[in-house]
Amino acid sequence: MSQYLYLVRHGEHQDAQHGVADGPLSPRGIRQAELLAERIGGVPFTAAWHAPSTSATQTAALLHRKLPAVQPRASALLFDCVPSGPSSDLPPAFATWFHSVSAAEIDAGRAQMADAVAEFFSPGGGERHDLIVTHNFVIAWFVRQVFDAPDWRWLGLNQAHCGLTILRVRSAKPPVLLVHNDLAHLPFELRTGLPETLPV
């Protein structure tokens, strides 16, 4: 049997341009969530979870308003975190990123993501469609998990605000990436959150 994970990064929040990690959604973030709800309105969701952060909670609430059958639940396993630290195979170009991250943060993030994979990568006995509203690094780690890539490879995998990534997790076969950071539901002016502006 298969489990489909619909991974969504929260909408843009009001202080995102000033480097603040969390906060209430901006008007643009609200519109991103509304358009995402229209995009996924026909999916027969089995369950929904969201990070307890303000931005993820508000995004999930907007999705629930448009999709009343979706009842999101908060999960501490979906908080933003640093999933892994420096390693011998880490490319030097990424090494400086960890200068401001403590060993305790890395240990906590590594443990959190191990528990998150065990919790959410669980297809069970029937077909499932599960919605997860979370943060960029969590989605990047889940994508890395699908490819069984080196731990550091979540770095450089970026998700736009309210971009859509879909994974298929199977009990008898390896998981697969079906869609990554799909932005078809967002017009150009609402495509925020990426390190670089996309030309299309």
pLDDT in tens, 30-71: 999 999 999 999 999 999 999 999 999 999 999 999 889 889
User: What would the two tokens of residue 186 be?
Assistant: 């967002």
Q: Is residue 197 part of a domain?
A: no
Question: Is residue 200 over pLDDT 70?
Answer: no
Domains: count for the chain:
1
Going by pLDDT thresholds of 50, 70 and 90, the confidence category of residue 29 is very high
Mean pLDDT value across residues 116-129: 90
Q: Is residue 44 part of a domain?
A: yes
Q: What is the mean pLDDT of the chain?
A: 93
Q: Is residue 73 part of a domain?
A: yes
Domain containing 57: what range? Answer: 2-88+99-190
Q: What is the pLDDT of residue 189?
A: 93
Q: What is the pLDDT of residue 90?
A: 95
User: Cβ of 150: how many Cβ atoms within 10 Å?
Assistant: 13
Judging by beta carbons within 10 Å of its beta carbon (0-12, 13-18, 19+), is residue 110 exposed, middle or buried? middle
Question: Is residue 140 over pLDDT 70?
Answer: yes
Q: Tell me how far apart the alpha carbons of residues 18 and 14 are, in angstroms, rounded to a whole number.
A: 9
Q: Is residue 93 part of a domain?
A: no
Q: Tell me how far apart the alpha carbons of residues 35 and 23 are, in angstroms, rounded to a whole number.
A: 20
Closest alpha carbon to 50 in 111, 115, 120, 2: 120
Going by pLDDT thresholds of 50, 70 and 90, the confidence category of residue 91 is very high
> At a CB cut-off of 8 Å and minimum separation 6, what does 129 contact?
3, 4, 6, 43, 44, 45, 46
Q: Is residue 195 part of a domain?
A: no
pTM of the model: 0.94
- φ/ψ region of 19 (left if φ > 0, alpha if ψ in -120 to 50, else beta) reads left
Q: Report residue 92: phi and psi, to 5°.
A: -55, -30
Q: What is the DSSP string of 26-73?
A: PHHHHHHHHHHHHHTTT---SEEEE-SSHHHHHHHHHHHHH-TT---E
Question: Is residue 8 over pLDDT 90?
Answer: yes
User: What would the two tokens of residue 129 be?
Assistant: 């469609």
Q: Is residue 199 part of a domain?
A: no
User: What would the two tokens of residue 6 be?
Assistant: 């619909």
Mean pLDDT value across residues 104-108: 97
CATH of the domain at 121: 3.40.50.1240
Pairing type for strands 2-9 and 164-170 reads antiparallel
23: helix, strand or coil: coil
User: What would the two tokens of residue 156 be?
Assistant: 């450089």
Q: Is residue 200 part of a domain?
A: no
Q: Using only C-alpha atoms, what is the Rg of the chain?
A: 16
Q: Is residue 106 part of a domain?
A: yes
